[in-house]
Structure 1
Amino acid sequence: MLLFESLISAAWAGRLGLLLGLLFLSAACQSPEVARQELRAGPLPPRPAATVLVPDSLQLTPLAPLAAVPDSLRRTVQVLHKRLGPAAATLRPAVLERACIGYLNLRKAGRVRRAGVLAVADMDLPSSEKRLWVIDLRKAEVLQHSPVAHGRGSGHLRARRFSNTIKSACTALGFYATQDTYEGKHGLSRRLRGLDAGQNDNALRRYVVLHAADYVSRRHLERHGQAGNSRGCPALPPEQYRAIISAVADGSCLLLSGPGLESNWLDGASAAERLAARGWM
């Protein structure tokens, strides 16, 4: 009896071993025909590479020329840009043209009182660069050229979002008139009045002003490779803020330019009439 049970157990063990062996071979091997088919089909396609998140792009947003700008005005702005020299090398002609057209129309409407001075910041440039210019239009000179911060709600290295909303911490695009100065928590500061309805006309209520900030200093830029972010103010480097605030005295014109800028002051025909009649004055 014991011998019979042993024989049965040995038989089942052999069958089990044979079954496991077949399973192993079917998993590890393939028939020659299957191998030939896979060889003809080629190797399996590679798995898609993982998406790499890249930092802020440095590619600027293209600016199409404004429509209906008379050739006389366009040539005058081109000459001005050339005369400004190396200090204006990174000031894009399309941005300068918009700033000049707005300045001329605002002068015509009596919304900016100070003649001959124009400040323009290209907020599409990264904050690592000098992107603010204060220009003497009559002498065709760059009076000041410096970095300037954008709001932390607008982005990190590049400003990508813009808002007029209170507590948004965003930069608001458009034309501004400078106003009086005062001594605040940042020291000497100059108030700004937004001149584009719905775009930046909350500037006074948002306390958007020109002021100094350590996060725009030369040392900060050298250490971090870019300026820090404000709560929406175009903050200035401590090394230059007094000179800049002085250069854009009460009643001066400032443009904060950037992607999606819209303004009722960008009327080329009206600006050309003003330039022909009164020049930059």
Structure 2
Amino acid sequence: MTFPASFSGLPVMLLALLGTGGLLAGCQSAGGEVAVARQSAAVAVAAPAPAVALVPAAHSLAPTPLAPTSLAPLPDVSPELRAAVAELRGRLGPEAAALRPEVLERACVGYLNLRQAGRISRPGMLAIADMDLPSSEPRLWVLDLRAGQVLHRSPVAHGRGSGEGVQARRFSNTIKSACTALGFYRTQDTYRGKHGLSRRLRGLDAGHNDNALRRYVVLHSADYVSTAYMERHGKAGNSRGCPALPPDQYRAIISAVGEGGCLYLSGPGLESKWLDAAGAAQRLAAQGWR
């Protein structure tokens, strides 16, 4: 997906009003309906949304996105496991060039441990969202580890409680926080709700994302992740905690991850018991990426 470098023709103030008055509908509430957060025009004028690419590049008002948090390599990763992840990265090709190696390594280690523990059941399927990258970028990858292929790459929204700017800076497992919750998830069954086809998510990291089912955190479509919205506002809109997907890609992504797959939402400060390099190396040696 590519985004135009500039827009022109409307006054900046009007564009700011449109940017903050857009869709902020998020995830399913306990009653299965969408909870909608609305801002008044007065609030929009006082605190306009970041105007990324809304004016010609030479006069852009957009803040420079913050650099993603530096992640140190996992400790005690065997040379064999590190080489296997590096080889996988090479096979994934240019579509995975923006997938940070340290994020891929963590995701693979977690996948292997979750497979060994029987917590996920879809062999070779791994979806990774680097929520430390700006929402203006396609920061979700769906990988087939066995084939070494990127099946899908798309933008993905973060919760408005995590920050209504282009980058997420707060993460929470708390009910009604409207935040994105980091960690490993098992993809669950599908259903049809307010957003149409949706897939439930079960959080597998206690204290980090294990309220996902109670919070109705699901994969679903959202107009505020559409190409038109992102071209207009320079970023994705915000959910109420769901990793919401573009309307033209959500069906294919929901189908690809299937039931029993692994989704990893990466971000700063995440500690997970599934990031056990020794256990992952044993699983890889015995079963490969299956």
Fold match by TM threshold 0.5: yes
What is the CA-CA distance between 1:244 and the residue it aligns to?
Answer: 0.2
Q: Which has the higher helix share?
A: 1
> Matched residues, percent identical?
75
Following superposition, the deviation at residue 153 of structure 1 comes to 0.5
Q: Write the distance in 1 (CA, Å) between the matches of 2:90 and 2:137.
A: 20
TM normalised by structure 1 equals 0.80
1:136 to 108, 126, 144: 144
Q: Which residue of 2 aligns with 1:49?
A: none
- Tell me, yes or no, if structure 1 residue 218 matches structure 2 residue 227: yes
**In 2, Cα distance between the equivalents of 1:56 and 1:195?**
34
Which of these residues, 109, 112, 123, is aligned with residue 115 of structure 1?
Answer: 123
Aligned mates of 2:119, 2:288 — CA distance in 1: 17
Residues 134 and 54 from structure 1, CA distance in 2 versus in 1: closer, same or farther, beyond 3 angstroms?
closer
Q: Does 1:245 align with 2:281?
A: no
SS of residue matched to 1:64:
coil
Distance 1:168 1:74, change over 3 A: same
Measure, in 2, the Cα distance between the counterparts of 1:254 and 1:57. Answer: 25
Once the two structures are superposed, the pairs formed by residues 90-129 of structure 1 within 5 Å of their partners are 90-129=98-137
Aligned to 1:181: 190
Aligned residue for 1:266?
275
Contact 1:56–1:157 (8 Å) recurs in 2: no
Letter in 1 for 2:147: K
Deviations 1:134-190 (A, max 9, x none): 000011000000000000000121011000000000000000000000000000000
- Superposition map of 1:19-34 within 5 A: none
Structure 2 residue 199 is the aligned partner of structure 1 residue 190: yes
Q: Return the TM-score normalized by structure 2.
A: 0.78
The aligned residue for residue 177 of structure 2 is 168
Task: Give the deviation of 1:265 after TM superposition.
Answer: 0.1
- Distance in 1, matches of 2:269 and 2:62, equals 23
Q: Which runs of 5+ in 2 are unaligned?
A: 1-60
- The residue that corresponds to 2:285 in the other structure is 276
**2-side partners of 1:277 and 1:166: how far apart?**
39
> Residue 221 of structure 1 aligns to a residue in which SS?
helix
Q: 1:234 matched to which residue of 2?
A: 243
Gaps of 5+ in 1: 1-52
What SS does structure 2 have at the residue aligned with 1:246? helix
Q: 1 or 2 for the larger relative contact order (CA 8 Å, sep ≥6)? A: 2
* Rg comparison, structure with higher value: 1
Per the alignment, in what secondary structure is the counterpart of residue 82 of structure 1?
helix
SS in structure 2 at match of 1:271 = helix
- The equivalent residue for 2:37 is none
Moved segments of 4+, more than 2 Å = 53-58
CA drift at 1:56:
6.1
* Contact kept in structure 2, 1:125 and 1:131, CA below 8 Å: yes
State how many pairs are aligned.
Answer: 229
What amino acid maps onto 1:168 in structure 2? Answer: S
Distance 2:96 2:231 in 1: 22
2:92 matched residue in structure 1: 84
Q: Distance in 1 between matches of 2:126 and 2:230?
A: 26
Q: Does 1:62 pair with 2:70? A: yes
Match of 1:201 among 207, 210, 213: 210
CA shift, 1:54, in A, is 8.4
**3-state SS of the aligned residue for 2:229?**
helix
Question: What is the identity, as a one-letter code, of the residue corresponding to 1:277?
Answer: A
- Following superposition, the deviation at residue 58 of structure 1 comes to 2.7
Name the amino acid aligned to 2:200. R
